[in-house]
């Protein structure tokens, strides 16, 4: 075999390895963090539940995905599994406010306002986890989001210093098209999460510490 052919073969192997690596990473993430995902009744008690934001409609109504997350958090609070709820989401423009709508919904369901801590700068999963540790002083928590999102959320929070376990918020059947889109997007988001953690940059927005008592 000529040197040119050997070089071409080596190049092909590199391309194949690079192409396969995101799939290997995705599979490892699923397997590694499956053991940290629990049913609500079985999860360990924690001081704080971190609830990740999702879409809110123009009329202020929570999307089905977000209602699942907040309803699951409410159930954890009512059963005594957690004492405080950290609602983290996007409020990058004044007319769009995920944490506020999450709070309003939970208070309407009977959760006392004083046990809720809003995080208005949780624009991404990385921001939510970083701010939970460095702004709100959270060292351990239950993460509340859909099952497809939990491996990435657990990986990110644990790498940023939050000893986290997860509860899957899949209480109702979300619209198949919406769920399919979210799961497809998740594959790329998991690759980006690895890059985020390797870089180790602070969250986009910080501020003064607000330690959850």
In a domain, 164, yes or no: yes
Total domains in the chain come to: 1
Residues with Cβ < 8 Å from 103, sequence gap 6 or more? 87, 113, 116, 118
Range of the domain at 136: 25-199
In a domain, 208, yes or no: no
**Quick one: average pLDDT of 74-84?**
97
DSSP string computed for 123-191: -SHHHHHHHHHHTS--SEEEEEE-TTTHHHHHHHHHHTT-EEEEEE---S---HHHHHHHHHHHHHHHH
For all residues of the chain together, what is the average pLDDT? 87
pLDDT of the residue at 22: 74
In a domain, 107, yes or no: yes
In a domain, 131, yes or no: yes
pLDDT single digits (tens) 41-62: 999 999 999 999 999 998 989 9
CATH number for 132: 3.40.50.620
- pLDDT exceeds 80 at position 17: no
In a domain, 156, yes or no: yes
Residue, of 2 and 165, whose pLDDT is higher:
165
Q: Tokens 């939510």 map to which residue? A: 128
pLDDT single digits (tens) 27-42: 888 999 999 999 999 9
In a domain, 213, yes or no: no
In a domain, 103, yes or no: yes
Q: What secondary structure letter does DSSP report for 201? A: P
pLDDT of the residue at 23: 80
In a domain, 1, yes or no: no
């Amino acid at each position: 075999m000529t040197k040119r052919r050997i070089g071409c073969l080596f190049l092909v192997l590199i391309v194949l390895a690079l192409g396969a690596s995101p799939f290997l990473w995705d599979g490892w993430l699923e397997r590694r963090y499956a053991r940290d995902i629990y049913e609500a009744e079985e999860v360990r008690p924690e001081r704080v539940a971190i609830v990740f934001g999702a879409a809110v409609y123009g009329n202020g109504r929570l999307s089905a995905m977000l209602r699942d997350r907040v309803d699951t958090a409410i159930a954890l609070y009512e059963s005594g599994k957690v004492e405080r709820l950290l609602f983290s989401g996007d409020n990058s423009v004044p007319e769009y406010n995920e944490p506020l709508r999450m709070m309003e919904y939970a208070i309407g369901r009977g959760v006392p306002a004083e046990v809720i801590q809003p995080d208005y700068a949780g624009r991404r999963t990385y921001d939510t986890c970083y701010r939970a540790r460095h702004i709100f002083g959270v060292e351990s928590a239950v993460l509340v989001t859909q099952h497809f999102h939990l491996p990435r959320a657990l990986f990110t929070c644990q790498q940023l210093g939050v000893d986290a376990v997860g509860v899957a918020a899949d209480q109702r059947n979300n619209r198949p098209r919406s769920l399919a889109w979210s799961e497809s997007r998740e594959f790329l988001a998991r690759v980006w999460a690895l890059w985020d953690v390797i870089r180790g940059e602070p969250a986009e927005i910080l501020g003064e510490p607000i330690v959850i008592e």
